[in-house]
Chain A
Amino acid sequence: RPPHPTPLEEASSSPGLLFCKMLGFLQHPVMVTAEVNLNMVALTAMGLLSRLWQLAYPRAVVFDEVYYGQYISFYMKRIFFLDGSGPPFGHMLLALGGYLGGFDGNFLWNRIGAEYSSNVPVWSLRLLPALSGALSVPMAYEIVRELGFSHCAATGAALLVLIENALITQSRLMLLESVLIFFNLLAVLSYLKFSNSQKHRPFSPRWWFWLVLTGVACSCAVGIKYVGVFTYLLVLGVAAVHAWHVIGDQTLSNVRVLCHLLARAAALVVLPILVYLLFFYIHLLLLYRSGPHDQIMSSAFQASLEGGLARVTQGQPLEVAFGSQVTLKNVFGQPVPCWLHSHQSTYPMIYENGRGSSHQQQVTCYPFKDVNNWWIVKDPGRHQLVVNNPPRPVRHGDVVQLVHGMTTRLLNTHDVAAPLSPHAQEVSCYVDYNISMPPQNLWRLDIVNRESDTDVWKTILSEVRFVHVNTSAILKLSGVPLPDWGFRQLEVVGEKLFRGYHESTVWNVEEHRYGRSQEQKERELELHSPTQVDISRNLSFMARFSELQWRMLTVRSDDSEHKYSSTPLDWVMLDTNIAYWLHPRTSAQIHLLGNVVIWASASLATLAYALLFVWYLLRRRRRVCDLPEDCWLRWVLAGALCAGGWAVNYLPFFLMEKTLFLYHYLPALTFQILLLPVVLEHVSDHLCRSQLQRSLFTALVVAWFTSACHVSNMLRPLTYGDRPLSPNELKALRWKDSWDILIRRY
């Protein structure tokens, strides 16, 4: 209900009055009322102190810095790379630190423990993760407050995050977990702020601000690591339940409900997608030079990068014509990207297993550029191997012959079993032995990504299949390396049992020029000369994005076992650790090692929460309400976000097949730590019946917290690695047999 018109609105009715009002500050002093929560300030200060203290120490590559560092260097040098481990936002944040510190990218990231050279701005590279780690402390405070619990509980949560050794270690290095945790917490916090302002003032600026921030924080979390998607889904789930209540709220008109839903959909679904795309846009904008990972990408993508294929393919004619000289690259590119190839050698008459071959010239797929990769597209009806004037383009459905440039033999396949894939046909370059084995060298061109049936075969852009006219076999890369007689090149076969689309049957023209030389000698010279000349870089952003994203998701890192890899079961009770760094001379060392007391009690708190929740739920079902309604709702919401946050960030790891490390648990652990004070406060408020019990419980909590602080302090040398420890001290710190603490043998 609109209140009476405010003075300002009255003022706006007449310009003169408005002007008077605008000069109002001449009549009254300008007042700024600020409330400063000193708790928060103190916590932030302590957070900064703990994370930033001696940040540039050790001045050496620590653990996974060796991994992220190379990508920072690529950013600095603007060289394109592909990293399957996560979207580019996290790498970009780290690179931002390097950019601010003036890093030129010149450092060889090859070994853990290597000393940084003087051009590496270690402090500013480590600054952003450290800041996000420090800010997680006040955010923990705010989240518990917004969940509706006391200042005391909130301070407790913040202090636990502050002294947790594993979180400190992880945020003081060039690693991404602390940034991920920061955005996870930010997403939860802003959603809570949003939902708390929902009751009082929906559609106010504050409401919008937190709603939008939720969406942005979620997509930032996903942009750092794919696992961020779990927190995003959790927030979406809670938002969906709340939206369902809004739908059920019949005091709201239908239009208003619709507005609520649309606002949420826009901010929590559409906006994150756009922000995510933005990361890739910036990523591709920044990395415009070709680099070592080019080969994985398609020819069209490579052509869009400066330097790589673009240098080679510049000025190539676009349309393949009869008489064109081409190299044909397989689109699948597994196990390695390679080009259709042939050479003088023939298939051995008899294979090791006794089967026979046609003894014709070998056709393989070769992963290096070579003059033997050139083929000439020939019209079966003509003898010439040059392009007409004007060039006659090859279209979908045309029948062609492929002539091998250096040997002028024709690509052929016939009903002879292939050397290593006997169910498929052998592919050869035809040699006439006069043994009544006729040439079968006609291929029908099938452009897979055509728009119409009269499309022209285009360089780089067209993906084509070659269908053998006589046997309907399809030219396919089987990917099996041939034995020594085939120089370990990859086998190419004619696939008879063709089932649907598969990339290994699809080829594209990479290098291309119109053949001019009539004579074989001249032609060989022409083939040896590099292709000259301008392909437009007209690949759209969405095409580049979808290709890059697809390759990132499918690129397979070899599942190498690692000395410090662990299983999810080891994490809950901290049965494992990771040695991050060892001083080259002394025994000072940095470990990823958590505060055992906090880990164990957080796990216990989760268990206690689950049991209490089930107990209350069952009793409420039988109409016994132990908790008042608002208290119960708070309890449920805290559980959904904190215990739920732990579960969604932890349980999916059981299904993952990649190599796992202890640091994967840290996001889950943070949520678990937030639950701990919530459970403690609940026990104190609702389960301790008398004042005496409550005092006893408080004393216990204080004792427990002191012990946590003590443990944290004891493990401090392993967290900061700032002072060498004697072997005895190190042995004393090895509380579990499964911990790997490095003791030098003198």
Chain B
Amino acid sequence: MLCATSRLLAARAASALPAHPRGRGPVPRSRRRELHFPGHPELPPGDLLAGRFAGPSVSTGRRAILRRGRMPPAAGGGLAGSELRPRRGRCGSQAARAAGRDVATETATARSPKRPAPPSSRRFEAAGRWALLALVTLTSFATRFHRLDQPPHICWDETHFGKMGSYYINRTFFFDVHPPLGKMLIGLAGYLSGYDGTFLFQKPGDNYEHHSYMGMRGFCAFLGSMLIPLAYLTVLELSRSLPAALLTAALLTFDTGCLTLSQYILLDPILMFFIMAAMLSMVKYNSCANRPFSAPWWFWLSLTGVNLAGALGVKFVGLFIILQVGWNTLSDLWHLFGDLSLSMVTLGKHLTARILCLIVLPLALYIATYAVHFMVLNKSGPGDGFFSSAFQARLSGNNLHNASIPEHLAYGSVITVKNLRMAIGYLHSHRHFYPEGVGARQQQVTTYLHKDYNNLWIIKKHNSNSDPLDPSHPVEFVRHGDIIRLEHKETSRNLHSHYHEAPLTRKHYQVTGYGINGSGDSNDFWRIEVINRKFGNRIKVLRSRIRLIHLVTGCVLGSSGKVLPKWGWEQLEVTCTPYLKETLSSIWNVEDHINPKLPNISLEVLQPSFPEIMLESHLVMIRGNNGLKPKDNEFTSKPWHWPINFQGLRFSGVNDTDFRVYLLGNPVIWWLNLLSIALYVLSASIFAVAVQRGVHLPVKVEGLSQVLLRGGGQLLFGWMMHYFPFFLMGRVLYFHHYFPAMLFSSMLTGLLWDTLLRLCAWSLASYPLARCVHVLGILTLLLGTAYSFYLFHPLAYGMVGPLAQDPRSPMAGLRWLESWDF
């Protein structure tokens, strides 16, 4: 920012001049550029005059300033001067578009010999383009569907996503760290193709036998094949150059990594499809910018929104494309905002249209996928334990479903207490002591994820041991702030804590079961508190969030989440923490509640509303994602491994007798991509500095530099957005996380090489072979990638026989890096 904004503003002022009609070619504009430079204080007198005769919109602006009386005359002069700076920004984008058109017509003329192309040849031209697109699509489908049924057993993560597809067909509730759309689509594809959801998907390598799996694989392969036409169209739109688009399509078609990833039941092809579709619709909609509010404009804008919802609905990685589209929209709005010919009403319309299509529409669709998700999955299943008690009440088959229990907690009630943090479970105790050397030798207290009789506790008054269930006693409710005792029902020992260090978390106190038949000491007293409620209120089952504070030491009952050793049956540690910070692990709720003296109410009233379910499932997913931490001594993939294609992923098979599939990018393509990024940064900065230094570029070079800076810039930004955030992530990362970024970098490669070769051809224009340079260059690249695909295709389509280090192996000599193990 800093001074740059002022200069931008100056450029804006110039763009407002109505003297520049849109359709004019770039020639006069570049001449203007040559006359006066940004930052140059003195201006040629002719332009100064032009500035004085500025259009009406500028004078309104100035009038507004004068009215405010804040602008000294000298500054006004300065402003007038600044209005004369050359046009950039939006007119620049027009220039790019114009230049792009130039390039397009140029390629057209390259094909048709005569300059004014006759209509028939133009029709021929259009037919050729369609034919080319069809060819690209066909190749892509052919490569993706070739040997799709091989291997006929579960590969890698199919075991998860296939299983989740089955859960949808069986309507069983499950938990996953990704949003539901991708798995719902897989489930739908399976359902439509006649898969009945009975296959167990237990572990990789299990044979599918008679179960129909081709529908699900075919669906993923279909979306994976669509990536190539999408990339082709995107590059075509950005560069207006067929060779660039063709090169991109070849890079992606012949990449073994993309191919492998598209052939199995995975979320990645679905995610990448939505990302690429969003990118294409964004680019298309950008090029409709000169016809706002027209039908195609609306179409592409809303399609962008739909695809954004799709991307986010499959994996949270979709957030990156949302950020990219958001950034693009903001800069677009900023340009419109600086256009003084647009009234505030028009701007308001623009803003509303974008809010509607890019925020409201995707949000509605995203929420709708969740609505479907919760509607479909209505049976209790393996995901229940991850969710709160109230949530479980929704699921049929869960013991909280249609249950009726007393609403308010009373003395004498038998309860289970559940920790609010995910995957901690119920407060639990059993007839086993802490071993020698671990605090006091008293009964263990742990948390346990499964339902069990040992989870039951009785609430008692701290000072009387009389049985509150005696019918002569009146019912007495437990209130916020009361001092209570919790007696373990099975062993009749009290929940107890004291100044001994906890078994694993040394800074916390140990929690034990103490006393005989309910009589203990003052270390058994706990104050029960409800979070965010007033003292004296009753405590609600399921909904009240409670804390138990130890009266003597002042510590809070919590679970550290650490797994106890063998002596603790690998249940989780319970401690009493002296740090009174409010964390979820020290907050509990009451789940089961048995009290014969109280009237039962149906749990229906306690069922959470839809927004609450949404919120909870998101919290659980985010925590689940953060919980995927790499363990010590585990080989983990690091983000810097990815672009250099350092290491692949084994999809299937280990030994030389197995059928092996290995996810690895085609090294020729990947290393070319890496080189291209460096080359791009170099060439783009050369052009940027040249423009900033006011160097006069020839018309053709100017057009190419615009393609490079704008089109390439968008692609580079996409690559960065889909790659760099991974460096900040703490969770376990895998090689396949790089593939969305790889799509962008391949598109950049296509665009870059085409542009560079054109520049080469232009600089050699005096030689007769100039045009050949371009054609030959592109052809070499195409054939080179195709040949490398021929070499490496067994990686994706499957290999048998000895491993690559064996000279008899078909892959012998192709293990270029020692870290590849196929």
Q: Beta-carbon contacts of B575-603 to A below 8 Å, as 1s and 0s?
A: 00111010000000000000000000000
Tell whether A200 is near chain B: CB-to-CB under 8 Å: no
Give the distance in Å from the alpha carbon of A565 to the alpha carbon of B692 in the complex: 49
Known: A245-B39, A657-B730. A477 touches B2 (CB 8 A): no
A655 x B728 contact (CB < 8 A): yes
Min Cβ gap A202→B in Å is 16
Q: Beta-carbon contacts of B547-583 to A below 8 Å, as 1s and 0s?
A: 0000000000000000000100000000001110100
- Taking CB atoms, residues of chain A closer than 8 Å to B581 are 561, 565
Give the distance in Å from the alpha carbon of A238 to the alpha carbon of B821 in the complex: 47
Tell whether A88 is near chain B: CB-to-CB under 8 Å: no
Known: A245-B39, A622-B340. A500 touches B819 (CB 8 A): yes
Tell whether A7 is near chain B: CB-to-CB under 8 Å: no
- Taking CB atoms, residues of chain B closer than 8 Å to A620 are 5-6, 9
B633 x A478 contact (CB < 8 A): yes
The number of residue pairs between A and B whose CB atoms lie closer than 8 Å in the complex comes to 121
Give the distance in Å from the alpha carbon of A242 to the alpha carbon of B7 in the complex: 13
Tell whether B61 is near chain A: CB-to-CB under 8 Å: yes
A248 x B692 contact (CB < 8 A): yes
Q: Beta-carbon contacts of A651-677 to B below 8 Å, as 1s and 0s?
A: 000010100000000000000000000
B633 x A248 contact (CB < 8 A): no
- Please tell me which stretch of A177-185, A411-419, A627-635 contacts chain B, meaning at least 4 of its Cβ atoms lie within 8 angstroms of it: A627-635
Min Cβ gap A241→B in Å is 5
A636 x B5 contact (CB < 8 A): yes
- Please tell me which stretch of B21-29, B64-72, B123-131, B138-146 contacts chain A, meaning at least 4 of its Cβ atoms lie within 8 angstroms of it: B64-72
Other A-B pairs beyond A241-B2, A244-B4, A657-B730, 19, CB < 8 Å: A238-B2, A241-B1, A245-B4, A248-B693, A352-B566, A477-B633, A479-B633, A500-B647, A501-B819, A502-B633, A561-B577, A561-B581, A621-B9, A623-B62, A624-B65, A625-B75, A633-B3, A636-B1, A636-B5
Q: Beta-carbon contacts of A614-648 to B below 8 Å, as 1s and 0s?
A: 00011011111111110011001100100000000
Tell whether A100 is near chain B: CB-to-CB under 8 Å: no
B6 x A633 contact (CB < 8 A): yes
Min Cβ gap B665→A in Å is 16
Min Cβ gap A147→B in Å is 12
Min Cβ gap A506→B in Å is 13
Query: 6 closest pairs, A vs B, by CB?
Result: A623-B61, A500-B819, A479-B633, A628-B75, A248-B692, A250-B37
B2 x A623 contact (CB < 8 A): no
Task: List 28 interface pairs A-B (beta carbons < 8 Å), by A numbering.
Answer: A244-B4, A245-B3, A245-B4, A248-B39, A248-B692, A248-B694, A352-B566, A483-B566, A500-B635, A500-B646, A504-B633, A561-B577, A562-B579, A621-B9, A621-B338, A622-B337, A623-B9, A624-B61, A624-B64, A624-B68, A625-B75, A628-B70, A629-B6, A629-B75, A636-B1, A636-B5, A637-B2, A640-B2
Q: Which of B25-80 contact A (CB under 8 A)?
A: 37-40, 58, 61-62, 64-65, 68, 70-72, 75, 78-79
Min Cβ gap B508→A in Å is 9
Q: Pick the residue among A241, A254, A624, A629 that contacts B78 (CB under 8 A).
A: A629
**Residues of chain B having any CB pair with chain A under 8 Å:** 1-6, 9, 12-13, 16, 37-40, 58, 61-62, 64-65, 68, 70-72, 75, 78-79, 334, 337-338, 340, 507, 566, 577-579, 581, 632-633, 635, 646-647, 654, 689, 692-694, 728, 730, 818-819, 821
For A564, give the chain B residue with the smallest CB separation.
B579
- Taking CB atoms, residues of chain A closer than 8 Å to B566 are 352, 483
Tell whether A28 is near chain B: CB-to-CB under 8 Å: no
B5 x A625 contact (CB < 8 A): no
A247 x B693 contact (CB < 8 A): yes
Q: Which of A563, A627, A628 has the most CB of B within 10 A?
A: A628
- Taking CB atoms, residues of chain A closer than 8 Å to B40 are 250-251
Q: Beta-carbon contacts of A235-270 to B below 8 Å, as 1s and 0s?
A: 000100110110111110010010000000000000
Give the distance in Å from the alpha carbon of A257 to the alpha carbon of B690 in the complex: 13
Min Cβ gap A465→B in Å is 12
**Residues of chain A having any CB pair with chain B under 8 Å:** 238, 241-242, 244-245, 247-251, 254, 257, 332, 334-335, 352, 477-479, 483, 497-502, 504, 560-563, 565, 617-618, 620-629, 632-633, 636-637, 640, 655, 657, 686
Give the distance in Å from the alpha carbon of A343 to the alpha carbon of B667 in the complex: 48
Give the distance in Å from the alpha carbon of A618 to the alpha carbon of B4 in the complex: 15
A621 x B689 contact (CB < 8 A): no
Give the distance in Å from the alpha carbon of A617 to the alpha carbon of B338 in the complex: 11
- Taking CB atoms, residues of chain A closer than 8 Å to B64 are 623-624
- Taking CB atoms, residues of chain A closer than 8 Å to B646 are 500
B632 x A479 contact (CB < 8 A): yes
B692 x A335 contact (CB < 8 A): no
Q: Which of B62, B581, B646 has the most CB of A within 10 A?
A: B581
- Taking CB atoms, residues of chain A closer than 8 Å to B38 are 248
- Taking CB atoms, residues of chain A closer than 8 Å to B340 are 622-623
Give the distance in Å from the alpha carbon of A580 to the alpha carbon of B764 in the complex: 74
A334 x B75 contact (CB < 8 A): no
Give the distance in Å from the alpha carbon of A197 to the alpha carbon of B461 in the complex: 78
Give the distance in Å from the alpha carbon of A660 to the alpha carbon of B404 in the complex: 45
For B635, give the chain A residue with the smallest CB separation.
A499
Min Cβ gap B802→A in Å is 12
B3 x A636 contact (CB < 8 A): yes
Q: Pick the residue among B4, B633, B689, B694 that contacts A250 (CB under 8 A).
A: B694
